[in-house]
């Protein structure tokens, strides 16, 4: 298998998701921005840090009254921990080996997960006293605490410095220097390595030669264009390779008047169509160009416009253009609408 056919794929919402945090989590994050840590008192009297919006036992609302809130920490004790020997830069909270620890802050009854910067596994024990190392530029996120550090006997925690907002406003999570934190940005990225699979390899190799290759299952006469690895009706592999024409007809379409739907989108207006290729039994999507959008119609004969340089890539077909042949009769494509 050529390396070309394994894709590095990432799922990532551009700019990150919004998270409206609601009043309870918002108050906790506002506290962090101001350099203090607040917990919320549950119905059974326990102090929960970080706070939850609802009581973990009764599901009642908590944190609605000032009386429910308790200042905790900033120091606390390690409840348990795990050593991260090989941190990944940009993904872990620190760029050097550290401990992930559950930390019960003074005055709290639950533990908070955070990083402890202690050099080596010898620098931390369960029960160790730790305290936060605050960032100067705080935005209302849990990472306003850079990490925790281990306190020596009798050492006192260092209070947060007054908040500093960067000149470019980068230290300002919600766009308002004053007031409670109401939202945060949640970056989210999942990375995958995706192998193409046999049918797609067959199809892509065909494109590199200017051919459209499909397949059919041994028990069926129906030919699937492009990269269908199985016959959806029988579940069988489309193991028999079938060459399909690069010409066919428009079965149905729409005219797109919305700009910027995709990096591959041409200037509006343009036509996005379903196309039934000669020799295939399923439709493909494609853009119709080379004629005014008003001239596109159901049954219109079209042909692939190939790129000058062919590659094993779907972009080898740039779009589809009218051939000028007489229209396909409705009978020919009506069962694929």
Partner 1 sequence: MGGQLAAVVGVGQTKHRSSRKDVSMAGLVREAAQEALADAGMTWSDIDAVVIGKAPDMFEGIAMPELYLADALGAVGKPMMRVHTAGSVGGSTAIVATKLVTSGVHRRVLTVSYEKQSESNATWGLSVPMPFQAPLVAGAGGFFAPLIRAYMHRSGAPRHIGHLVAVKDRRAALRNPKAHLHIPDIDLKMVEESFMLWDPIRYLDTCPSSDGAMALVIGNEEVADASEGPVAWVHGMAMRSEPTMFAKRDQVNPLAGRACAKDLYTQAGVTNPREDFDCAEVYVPFSWFEPMWLENLGFCAEGDGWKLTEAGATAPDGDIPWNPSGGVLSSNPIGASGMVRFGEVAQQVRHRAGDYQVEMKTGRALGHAYGGGSQFFSMWVVGSDKPTS
Instruction: Tell the smallest beta-carbon distance from residue 83 to partner 1 (Å).
Output: 26
Both tokens of 118, joined, read 């202690």
> Which one among 82, 86, 219, 257 touches partner 1, defined by CB under 8 A?
257
In angstroms, give the least distance from the CB of 157 to partner 1.
30
Whether residue 269 is preceded by a cis peptide bond, meaning omega within 30 degrees of 0, is: yes
The least distance separating partner 1 from the CB of residue 319, rounded to whole angstroms, comes to 10
Q: Site map for partner 1, 298-327, x if CB under 8 A?
A: x---------------xx-x----------
Query: What binding mask, one character per residue, do residues 203-222 give for partner 1 by CB under 8 A, x or -?
Result: -x-----------------x
Choice from 129, 227, 246, 320 touching partner 1 (CB under 8 A) = 227
CA 81 to chain centroid:
29
Q: Which of 54, 126, 241, 306 binds partner 1 (CB under 8 A)?
A: 54
By CB under 8 A, name the one of 2, 18, 120, 143 that touches partner 1.
18
Asked if residues 223 and 279 have their Cβ atoms less than 8 Å apart, the reply is yes
Considering the complex, what minimum distance in angstroms separates the CB of residue 248 from partner 1? 14
Give the burial class of 5: count Cβ atoms within 10 A of its Cβ; 0-12 exposed, 13-18 middle, 19 or more buried.
middle
Total number of residues that touch partner 1 (CB under 8 A): 69
Which of 119, 132, 280, 138 minimizes the C-alpha distance to 206?
A: 280
- The closest alpha carbon to 135, from 158, 108, 107, belongs to 158
Beta partners for 271?
Answer: 255, 288
Could you give the angle at the alpha carbon of 62 between the alpha carbons of 56 and 63, nearest 5°?
130
Within residues 271-290, the interface with partner 1 by CB under 8 A covers 272-274, 281-287
Residue 242 binds partner 1 (CB under 8 A): no
CA atoms within 13 A on the CB side of 38: 21
Q: Of the two residues 213 and 287, which places its CB atom closer to partner 1 in the complex?
A: 287
- The tokens of 80 are what? 């348990």
Out of 139, 196, 213, 288, the only residue in the binding site for partner 1 (CB under 8 A) is 196
Q: Least Å distance between CB 158 and partner 1?
A: 32
- The region that residue 197 occupies, defined by phi over 0 for left and psi between -120 and 50 for alpha, beta otherwise, is left
In the complex, least distance from residue 225 CB atom to partner 1, rounded to whole angstroms:
10
Could you say whether residue 265 binds partner 1 (CB under 8 A)?
yes
Q: What part of residues 165-194 is at the interface with partner 1 (CB under 8 A)? A: 182-183, 186, 188, 194
Reading phi first (left if > 0) and then psi (alpha if -120 to 50, else beta), residue 208 is in alpha
Contacts to partner 1 by CB under 8 A: 5, 7, 9, 11, 13-14, 17-23, 25, 52-59, 182-183, 186, 188, 194, 196, 200, 204, 222-224, 226-227, 231-233, 251-258, 261-262, 264-265, 269, 272-274, 281-287, 298, 314-315, 317, 334-337
């Amino acid at each position: 298998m050529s390396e070309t056919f394994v894709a590095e794929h990432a799922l990532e919402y551009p700019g990150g998701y919004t998270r409206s945090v609601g009043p309870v989590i918002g108050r906790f994050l506002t506290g962090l921005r101001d350099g203090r840590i607040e917990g919320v008192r549950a119905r059974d009297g326990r102090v929960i840090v970080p706070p939850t919006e609802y009581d973990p036992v009764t599901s009642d609302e908590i944190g609605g009254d000032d009386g429910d809130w308790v200042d905790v920490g900033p120091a606390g004790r390690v409840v348990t921990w795990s050593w991260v020997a090989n941190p990944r830069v940009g993904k872990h909270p620190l760029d050097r080996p550290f401990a992930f620890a559950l930390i019960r802050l003074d005055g709290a009854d639950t533990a908070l997960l955070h990083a402890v910067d202690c050099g080596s596994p010898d620098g931390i024990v369960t029960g160790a006293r730790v305290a936060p190392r605050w960032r100067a530029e705080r935005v209302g996120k849990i990472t306003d605490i850079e990490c925790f550090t281990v306190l020596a006997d009798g050492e006192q925690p260092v209070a947060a410095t007054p908040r500093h907002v960067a000149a470019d406003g980068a230290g300002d999570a919600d766009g308002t220097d004053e007031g409670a934190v109401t939202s945060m940005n949640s970056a989210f990225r999942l990375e995958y390595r995706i192998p193409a699979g046999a049918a797609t390899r067959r199809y892509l190799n065909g494109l590199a030669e200017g051919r459209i290759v499909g397949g059919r299952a041994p028990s069926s006469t129906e030919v699937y264009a492009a990269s269908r690895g199985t016959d959806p009706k029988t579940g069988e592999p489309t193991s028999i390779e079938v060459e399909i024409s690069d010409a066919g007809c428009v079965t149905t379409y729409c005219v797109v008047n919305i700009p910027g739907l995709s990096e591959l989108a041409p200037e509006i207006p343009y036509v996005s169509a379903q196309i039934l290729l000669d020799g295939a039994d399923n439709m493909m999507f494609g853009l119709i160009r080379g004629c005014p959008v008003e001239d596109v119609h159901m049954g219109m004969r079209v042909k692939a416009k190939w790129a000058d340089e062919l590659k094993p890539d779907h972009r080898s077909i740039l779009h589809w253009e009218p051939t000028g042949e007489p229209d396909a009769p409705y009978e020919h494509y009506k069962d694929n609408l």
